[in-house]
Amino acid sequence: MKKMLRPTPQGHRHRQTSETPGYQKLLGNYGYGLIDARARTPLRAAAASCAHSAWRRAEDCAPYPYPQAHGYLALSSVSRPSSLTSLHRRGFLRILMAAAALSSLRPKVQAAGSQPRPDSGLIDANVNLGQWPTRRLPGDEPNALMTKLRRHNVSQAWAGSFEGLLHKDIAAVNARLTRACRRHRRGVLVPFGSINPTLPDWEEELRRCAEDHGMPGIRLHPNYHGYRLDEPVFARLLEAATQRGLIVQLALVMEDERMMHPRLQVEPVDPAPLAQLVSQTSGLKLVLLNALRTVRGRALQALLAAGEVYVEIAMLEGVGGLENLLAQVPVSRVLFGSHAPLFYFESALLKLRESALDPAPAQALRRENARRLLESTQAGAATRAWR
């Protein structure tokens, strides 16, 4: 069995084998993109390790601890040779490949105060404002998030609120979300309000999202709000949102179960009833968030065939993940999504960079699919009002 050495945040080296969870996967929460080390040679994995280390230094982000029990491996600086005599062939190739990776991944930083061109930048269908309930995240302040988006030429980001998961005063959550989107870069952050259909005034809050806040869509979290997709209230919610011309974003999961707080273990949403509901709700525009870990293969194909259903790539896993996904589903139903700041934005961006997509499908995934989705609904007029 081949073995390799990986650096840890403390600068020590732990020997990993292909049977060790930390060797098998570098999860997007702690790395930049999901890297399946079993499908890569030790040399390529080492180059990815070195590239990640330089990203950490470039982003001025402090290393995270090494939660070995959860199967994660967070990487920090890679030791450098002290002299040319110590630079053996493998070390030289390792540095060379890392430099090549960085040259392709490092985004062009825009001039201070400049704005992304609205007709050329990325559209991110999955970002969040506010603080995650159980820990602080890099970029969970709106200014920091906007700096990140601007650096990577994001022209529009569809923003939900972490507060919408557990707060009972959803009206106040959506009001704060709207103010934050208007205050921090009007036209880039577009609010998608939280709706909890188990609360008595959810229909009035849906009206406020559409009419008072001018939101183009809503974001649903059934597993945090305590209802199933086969309950009648969910079907009523889909129908009401569709009648108002709102896009419905449905988050199937928010966090990897290995990272959940022991007192906040939340099961993924069961998507089994969705296909029938979509086919019964004429005109529904549904975007599945964080779905590609739980819905795959024929189940995903059947769901997309039931109506106008889209997925985004924040939780897409594996080497060549985009090519594998587009071999199963049409590119017109796939959106770019990062799940920032809970996931590193660069994780989603790396999936685009390492893919072998032609320019046309790449541009469709980067922005055109999301743009057409907005413009095909009444929500498109609401979105244009934010520019």
Residue 351 lies in a domain: yes
Q: Is 219 helix (H, G, I), strand (E, B) or coil?
A: strand
Residue 142 pLDDT greater than 80, yes or no: yes
210-229 confidence digits (pLDDT tens) = 999 999 999 999 999 999 99
Q: Cα separations (Å) of 119 from 115, 123, 182?
A: 12, 10, 20
> Under a CB-based contact definition with an 8 Å cutoff, are residues 45 and 90 in contact?
no
Look-up: residue for tokens 């890392």? 98
Tell me if the bond preceding 341 is cis, omega within 30° of 0: yes
- Among 105, 136, 160, the domain-final residue is 105
For residue 151, give every residue at least 6 positions away whose Cβ sits within 8 Å of its Cβ, in sequence order, or none: 107, 109, 110
Report the b/e string of 297-317 with b at 16+ CB within 10 A.
eeebeebbebbbbbbbbbbbb
In contact, 206 and 240? CB cutoff 8 Å: yes
> Would 188 be classed as within a structural domain?
yes
Same domain flag for 324 and 205: yes
Does one domain contain both 13 and 162?
Answer: no
Whether residue 217 sits in one domain with residue 363: yes
Amino acid at 242: T
Q: Domain of 135: which CATH number?
A: 3.20.20.140
Residues 131 and 58 in one domain: no
Q: Which of 42, 73, 105 corresponds to the end of one domain?
A: 105
Q: Are residues 290 and 144 in the same domain?
A: yes
Query: Could you tell me where the beta strands, DSSP code E, fall in 46-143?
Result: 122-129
**Assigned domain for 114 exists:** no
Residues 190 and 305 in one domain: yes
Which tens digits make up the pLDDT trace of 300-354?
999 999 999 999 999 998 888 999 999 999 999 999 999 999 999 999 999 998 8
One domain for residues 88 and 194:
no
Mean pLDDT for 133-158 is: 93
Same domain, 136 and 54: no
| Contacts with 273 (C-beta within 8 Å, 6 or more apart), sequence order | 228, 229, 230
Is there a contact between 91 and 129 (Cβ–Cβ < 8 Å)?
no
Overall number of domains in the chain: 2
Query: Which residues are paired to 265 by β-bridges?
Result: none
Q: Which residue has the higher pLDDT, 97 or 326?
A: 326
Collapsing DSSP to helix, strand or coil, 260 comes out as coil
Q: Are residues 186 and 223 in the same domain?
A: yes
Of 78, 105, 132, the last residue of a domain is 105
136 and 100 together in one domain: no
Query: How does the average pLDDT of the chain come out, rounded?
Result: 78
Q: Output the pTM of the full model.
A: 0.72
Q: Which domain holds residue 253?
A: 122-384
| Per-residue pLDDT at 47 exceeds 50 | no
Mean pLDDT of the region 120-149: 93
